[in-house]
Amino acid sequence: MNSYYHPWIGGAETYVSNLARGLARRGHEITVYCSDRPLLPGKSLEDGINVVRMRTPATFYGTPLVLFPPEMIAERYDVIHANFPSPYLAGISAWIAAARTTPAVLTWHNDLPPVTSGAGMLVRIHDAFSGSYLNIYRKIIATTYAYSKKSKLLSRYSEKVVVIQNGVDTTRFNPRIDGEEVRQRYGLGQSRVALFVGALTTWHAYKGVDVLLRAFKNASENQADFKLLIVGGGNLMGKYRSMAQELGISSSVVFAGKVSDKELPKYYAACDFAILPSKDSSEGFGLVLLEAMACGKAVIGSKVGGIVEVIKDGENGLLAEPNDVEALARAIRNLFDDDQKRAMMGQLGRRFAESHDWSAVAQKVESLYKEIAMA
């Protein structure tokens, strides 16, 4: 159960689609329930997975308010697996599991981000009443140990928390991919390229694109061959474009917009390193960092959330203090200027990614299913 599913692009969507395929390859019958967006409601068989796209008459603070089909309640499953941060889907999934006495597990991708004052109030209300459904889940999967200890809500349920880190398709994302087509498409030539991948929406403002633009201005001063490639779409794209213009760096910043899942590996291949400058602990893992590592690229991330468990500072990448423009600029300049360091970090990153292939993650989740099913 998740808010959205492929071809919708996002970290949780990547998690669900890859985990579902991994479990299907292990011989399990998988049904994914999700919002119909961006497609139409209905049922389909995709890569051996039953996908039920539920009608979505409205959304509330980024959460699709789906209409659950009767068969979802009537069908018997061995395990129900939901994903957070969608209190609506996590809550209903838990209550269905309780009504059917079906064991349930929840993957906690990150806390609810209080991106506006109104959202902050809703977060506080949710946290106060979250026990009404979190108590039902037999296990809660956290994607890093660091996040499981920092999250206020997860710490309340520490006895239920199991850490299973995210995975990456190390075949699809690999260092042999040719990024020349992307470089030619955007006129990047022989420039050194930093890459950001993420949604440019209000709900993802914590990704820190505004901080990144200011840091890139500082790092690229008097360097015409430094480029920043931003992949992702959303309602904040216009704001970020205007900001790049105001900073005087619009000629060095490329907004590629939304990129298909199929094309994404080529964008990693086209860059010299990737950046995830998240502002706060709303960042539970940073799956894009793992994808970049799988492509043999060095990475830069903020010292927040689960990123600190993905990046080993000075080994497979660099860590910078969150919201610190100067610190991020130094890290960017550091990697732009040191070819040998980038190569070394890329090699170590690839090794880290290989130990996190989705096949290994699916096996661990399968073991957890068996454990809660027999409890």
- In this predicted model, what pLDDT tens digit does every residue of 167-187 receive, in sequence order? 999 999 999 999 999 999 999
Same domain, 124 and 247: no
Same domain as 186, residue 64: no
Question: Residues of 82-111 as b/e, b for ≥16 C-beta within 10 angstroms?
Answer: bbbbbbebbbbbbebbeeeebbbbbbbbbb
Asked whether residue 201 carries a pLDDT value surpassing 70, the answer given is: yes
Q: Which residue has the higher pLDDT, 181 or 122?
A: 181
Instruction: Mark whether 116 and 198 lie in a shared domain.
Output: no
- CA–CA distance, 298 with 352 (Å, rounded to integer): 12
Identify whether residues 141 and 237 lie together within a single domain.
Answer: no
- Single-letter amino acid, residue 301: G
Query: Is 88 a member of any domain?
Result: yes
Over residues 193-217, the mean pLDDT reads 95
Question: What Å distances lie between residue 249 and 222, 274, 279, 320, CA to CA?
Answer: 11, 18, 22, 22
> In the chain, pLDDT over 70 holds for what percent of residues?
100
- Residues 80 and 214 placed together within one structural domain of the fold: no
Strand partners, 229: 195, 254
Residue 6 is assigned to a structural domain of this protein: no
Same domain, 123 and 194: no
Query: Does pTM top 0.95 for this prediction?
Result: no
Same domain, 61 and 159: yes
Tell whether 132 and 202 lie within a shared domain.
no
Q: Is residue 28's pLDDT more than 70? A: yes
Residues 276 and 159 in one domain: no
When pLDDT is cut at 50, 70 and 90, the band that residue 283 belongs to is confident
Domain that holds residue 210: 180-354
Partnered with residue 231 across adjacent β-strands are 197, 257
| Helix (H) / strand (E) containing 1 | none
Residue 263 lies in a domain: yes
Is 38 in the same domain as 123? yes
Cβ atoms of residues 369 and 105 within 8 Å: yes
Strand order in the sheet with 253-257: 253-257, 226-231, 192-197, 273-276, 298-302, 317-320
- Quote the pLDDT of residue 140: 97
pLDDT at 125: 85
Is 80 exceeded by the pLDDT of residue 117?
no
- Mean pLDDT for all residues in the chain: 94
Task: Give the type of residue at 335.
Answer: L
pLDDT number for residue 76: 87
Asked if residue 3 is part of any domain, the answer here is no
Whether 365 and 349 share a structural domain: no
Asked if pLDDT for residue 136 goes beyond 70, the answer is yes
Q: What are phi and psi of 355, to 5 degrees?
A: -80, -5
Pull the structure tokens for residue 31: 């049904």
Q: Reduced to 3 states, what is the DSSP secondary structure of residue 142?
A: strand
Task: Kindly state the tokens that stand for 286.
Answer: 């940073």
In a domain, residue 172? The reply is no
Q: What is the pLDDT of residue 114?
A: 74
Considering the domain architecture, whether residues 206 and 156 belong to the same structural domain is answered as: no
| pLDDT above 70 (res 73) | yes
Question: Is 1 inside any structural domain?
Answer: no
Q: Is residue 5 part of a domain?
A: no
Which pair of structure tokens corresponds to residue 57?
A: 């008459």
Sequence-separated (6 or more) residues with CB below 8 Å from residue 131: 156
In a domain, 109, yes or no: yes
> What domain count does the chain have?
2
pLDDT-based confidence at residue 115 (cuts at 50, 70, 90) = low
What integer is the mean pLDDT of 285-291? 94
For CA atoms 199, 202, 204, 208, give the dihedral sign.
Answer: positive
- What CATH number is given to the structural domain containing 108? 3.40.50.2000
HEC secondary structure over 213-237: HHHHHHHCCCCCCEEEEEECCCCCH
